[in-house]
Amino acid sequence: MKTAAAAPEEHRFILSSLPPGPAQRRLALVVALILLVTFLITAGGPFSKVQLPQIGAFIPAYGTAMLVNDLITAVLLFAQFSMLRSYALLAISIGYLSTALVAIPWMLTFPGVFAPAGLLGANPQSTAWLYILWHTGFPVCVIAYALLKEADPARREWRGSVQAAILSSAAVTAGVVAAETFLVTASEPVLPPLMLDDKIRLSPAWFYAAGAVALLILLALVVLWRRRRSVLDLWLTLVLCAQLVEVNLISFPLATRYSVGWYTGRVCGLLSGSLVLFVLLYETTFLYGQLLRALLAQRREREARLMTGDALSASIAHEVRQPLAAMITNADAGLRWLNRASPDLEEAKAAFRRIATDGHRAGAVIENIRAFFRKDAGSRTSLDINEPVREVLALKRADLLAHRVSVEAELNDQLPPVKADHLQLQQVLLNLITNAIESMAAKDGERMLCIRSRVHDSSAVMVSVEDTGTGIETADIDQIFNPLFTTKSDGMGMGLSICRSIIEAHDGRFWATPNMSQGFAFNFVLPADNRIPSAPLSRQKRVAPANTYEY
């Protein structure tokens, strides 16, 4: 039951619109705890007031690492923007680009690294002010990102040329960084001093500046947290946490350069710079694998002749339209031959003969479709209902993984066998599971597919497929078995009516109920096969474990 608000198919595989899975959340929590512990140990531990030596290579190494990290992150985010065209992504890309670019003057102006007083005509205050501007720009961009991604959908997307948007925003960002550099190097008197004369200790004004930055980061954190949805949001939250720790460690308990806190703060800064990059790279590789698997599974599904309702209806339409087109065209041709100044009877007769042939062909197509659903005892065998359940779950595994749906299968191993067409039962289950995945892909939050099999009324077997998806409006419940009803924008809605036809052809019952908490449950009951009194027969058949079934 996909709703109109669902994300387009291709967006499901893009990091900035994908909800984080449970493993991602756990990892993020671990990183947050490590940050907290690092902060507590560094700020409150016995080494907190130790002053370390000035390591000459530290600043250029750190600055270059930040520059490269943030630049790659910015490029990857710009690439996502070019796919999704969302203003929000453009804002966060600009954030990363600006932190990458500002690392250059920060490094060059650092006193005692490239020149005793720093390059670019720096004064003793330049580097500290660049640091403040650096850590102001990023949270501002995060706030813009958080607000823009919740904006009115019609205004969320850039409509113009992607290339122009990226080039102009890169140019503006570079311009702003250049202006900032000029401001802090050329106009010392305008800005209050952040460093004391020894170029090591920070002045009282630093605490106001750093405090303002910390508050801004905190604000960005709150704004983003209230709007968190995607994997990207989750890790950006952690980036802000790392920056908060960094700003605090540089200021407390020793407000000097080269203290333990100062070095640790830099390490936190590097971590914050790398987090999103690592996640982007990991997710890209992971999703690539997913797509590959999904592609292979799709091919297998096709080869297995299993079709969902939509695919089936499209294929039926195709098969019927071919002879219809031929018939109509032949009729037109026949009329044309007869309407000539000297009617060509032979050609006209040939056209009418072809119409008759095509009519028979269309009839045969319809007959085939009917045979597909007809009660046909010949193709029915006594089988364990859990077998097709496991097979279809295996078939859809890649799709379930790609949509981060967790599966809970409560399959009763002591079920009596049912007499059924194996392929048709697979068809039913495939339709139900595909529907459930599509319904859950249309919303955020927990995605759980629950499949149960159990004994029903002592002489029947019941299977239920529950999802936590969008569910169905109560008014629509009576409508869902109507072959032409669909909440999907791109489907014909034949899936459920096909399922019901198949189950009823097996003397079973098929019905739907709203799920307890959210989503929907589809249930069907099939009578147990009484002609085989002992269940072990079906067990013996199952030599290979069902979960290793592959097509």
Contacts with other proteins by CB under 8 A lie at 314, 317-318, 321-330, 332-333, 336-337, 340-341, 344, 347, 350-351, 354, 357-358, 361
- Is the Cβ of residue 34 or residue 328 nearer to other proteins in the bound state? 328
- Is the Cβ of residue 64 or residue 161 nearer to other proteins in the bound state? 161
DSSP structure class, residue 259: B
In the bound complex, what is the minimum distance in angstroms from residue 136's beta carbon to other proteins? Answer: 45
How far from chain centre, in Å, is Cα 360? 48
In the bound complex, what is the minimum distance in angstroms from residue 484's beta carbon to other proteins? Answer: 15
In the bound complex, what is the minimum distance in angstroms from residue 343's beta carbon to other proteins? Answer: 11
In the bound complex, what is the minimum distance in angstroms from residue 494's beta carbon to other proteins? Answer: 15
In the bound complex, what is the minimum distance in angstroms from residue 32's beta carbon to other proteins? Answer: 43
- Is the Cβ of residue 25 or residue 353 nearer to other proteins in the bound state? 353
Please name the amino acid found at residue 314. A
How far from chain centre, in Å, is Cα 238? 19
Q: Is 374 exposed, middle or buried (0-12, 13-18, 19+ CB in 10 A)?
A: exposed
Task: Answer whether 93's CB lies under 8 Å from 74's CB.
Answer: yes
In the bound complex, what is the minimum distance in angstroms from residue 2's beta carbon to other proteins? Answer: 16
The stretches of 111-194 forming alpha helices (DSSP H) are 126-149, 162-186
* Strand stretches in 488-540, DSSP E: 509-514, 520-527
- Is the Cβ of residue 361 or residue 380 nearer to other proteins in the bound state? 361
Cα separation of 503 and 33, whole Å? 52
In the bound complex, what is the minimum distance in angstroms from residue 13's beta carbon to other proteins? Answer: 18
- Pull the structure tokens for residue 276: 């999103």
Please name the amino acid found at residue 343. P
C-alpha angle 477-480-482 in degrees, rounded to nearest 5:
130
- Is the Cβ of residue 138 or residue 337 nearer to other proteins in the bound state? 337
Q: Is 270 exposed, middle or buried (0-12, 13-18, 19+ CB in 10 A)?
A: middle
In the bound complex, what is the minimum distance in angstroms from residue 490's beta carbon to other proteins? Answer: 9
In the bound complex, what is the minimum distance in angstroms from residue 8's beta carbon to other proteins? Answer: 11
Task: Answer whether 515's CB lies under 8 Å from 29's CB.
Answer: no
Cα separation of 434 and 301, whole Å? 12
Cα separation of 267 and 95, whole Å? 20
- Is the Cβ of residue 281 or residue 326 nearer to other proteins in the bound state? 326
- Pull the structure tokens for residue 352: 């009418």
In the bound complex, what is the minimum distance in angstroms from residue 443's beta carbon to other proteins? Answer: 24
Find the helix packing angle between 345-373 and 309-339, rounded to 10°. 170
- Is the Cβ of residue 155 or residue 302 nearer to other proteins in the bound state? 302
The residues that bridge with 187 in the sheet, in sequence order, are: none
CB atoms within 10 A of CB 15: 21
Closest Cα partner for 90 from 14, 20, 170, 180? 170
- Is the Cβ of residue 97 or residue 312 nearer to other proteins in the bound state? 312
- Is the Cβ of residue 339 or residue 540 nearer to other proteins in the bound state? 339
Closest Cα partner for 323 from 351, 354, 284? 354
- Is the Cβ of residue 358 or residue 387 nearer to other proteins in the bound state? 358
